[in-house]
Structure 1
Amino acid sequence: MEHLARDPAPRTRVYHLMAEGMSFKVTVALRARRVEKWIRVVKRDYLGNTPIKCVGLDCEFTNTREGDQRAAALQLSVPSENLVFQICHADEVPQVLREFLQDGNIRFCGAAIGKDVEMLSPYGIHITSAYDLQKILPNPK
């Protein structure tokens, strides 16, 4: 994967990765417009006709030593599309994202995502269908 350099200018970068015979598209975004576009594409291409709608969810947090900890990056994933929304530096948190994450028909799954859900609430994001995979699936030995 190409190294992600810090760029103070609000931009979007798209990376195409090949790993173990699979292709992944990773969109790294700071702008609300790009997040809205990603959600429209995912709803149309991946979630539209599926009986069980599932999206991977993860958050990365700011450094606790620098003061109050908060969500820094929100990561959403479907089979070959991934979004990394740098929420703490974004121009705004789009209403489309809030509505997407509140959609009770979509299951948002991740490992130990309770803290992720909690850290997103200051941004006005309330996830209604969060599933902690570590509680659902037993830990393999």
Structure 2
Amino acid sequence: MEHLARAPAPRFRMYCLTAEGMYFKITVTLRASRVEKWIRAVKRDFLDATPIKFVGLDYEFTNPREGNQRAVILQLLVATENLIFQICWADEVPQVLEDF
């Protein structure tokens, strides 16, 4: 039987979504360097200039019935910027994220 080579999953994707007149930029990644870049950008563009800071947070975990439960996806939302960090497959968790 011949094994077909599969293309590796992309480490970063960006999507733009317009819904009900609102524009969202969605960054999907499993690279720590992209997470650091995203955090620096939203701090500079949105959070540093505002007296009240608001960050949306969502996360998904693995099924606890299948063994050790751990975080799979971490999602952050600031204004129109969304980050979906596939933390389970990430190369590392950056210190910038922990500080954020």
Shared topology, TM-score over 0.5?
A: yes
Q: Which structure: larger Rg?
A: 2
- Indicate how the Cα distance of structure 1 residues 10 and 66 shifts in structure 2: closer, same or farther if over 3 A, else same: farther
- Indicate conservation of the 8 Å contact 1:10/1:90, yes or no: no
**SS at structure 2 position matched to 1:57:** strand
Q: Scaled by the length of structure 2, what TM-score is found?
A: 0.88
**Deviation (angstroms), 1:49:** 1.0
Name the counterpart of 2:47: 47
Name the counterpart of 1:29: 29
Name the counterpart of 2:90: 90
**SS at structure 1 position matched to 2:54:** strand
**SS at structure 2 position matched to 1:75:** strand
Q: Scaled by the length of structure 1, what TM-score is found?
A: 0.64
Q: Percent identity?
A: 72
**Deviation (angstroms), 1:8:** 4.6
CA distance in structure 2 between the partners assigned to 1:55 and 1:8 by the alignment: 32
**Structure 2: stretches of 5+ with no match in the other structure:** 1-6
CA distance in structure 2 between the partners assigned to 1:9 and 1:55 by the alignment: 28
In structure 1, give the amino acid aligned to 2:76: L
Name the counterpart of 1:67: 67
**RMSD of aligned residue pairs (Cα, Å):** 1.3
Name the counterpart of 1:117: none
Structure 1 segments (4+ residues) deviating >3 Å: 7-10
**Deviation (angstroms), 1:9:** 3.2
The one-character-per-residue Cα deviations of 1:48-84 (angstroms, maximum 9, x if unpaired) are: 1100111001101112232111111000001100000
Q: What is the number of equivalent residue pairs in this alignment?
A: 94
In structure 2, give the amino acid aligned to 1:46: F
**SS at structure 2 position matched to 1:54:** coil
Where relative contact order (Cα < 8 A, 6+ residues apart) is larger, the structure is 2
Correspondences of 1:1-141 after superposition (within 5 Å): 8-9=8-9, 11-100=11-100
The one-character-per-residue Cα deviations of 1:8-62 (angstroms, maximum 9, x if unpaired) are: 5351000000100000001001000000000000000010110011100110111
CA distance in structure 1 between the partners assigned to 2:10 and 2:63 by the alignment: 21
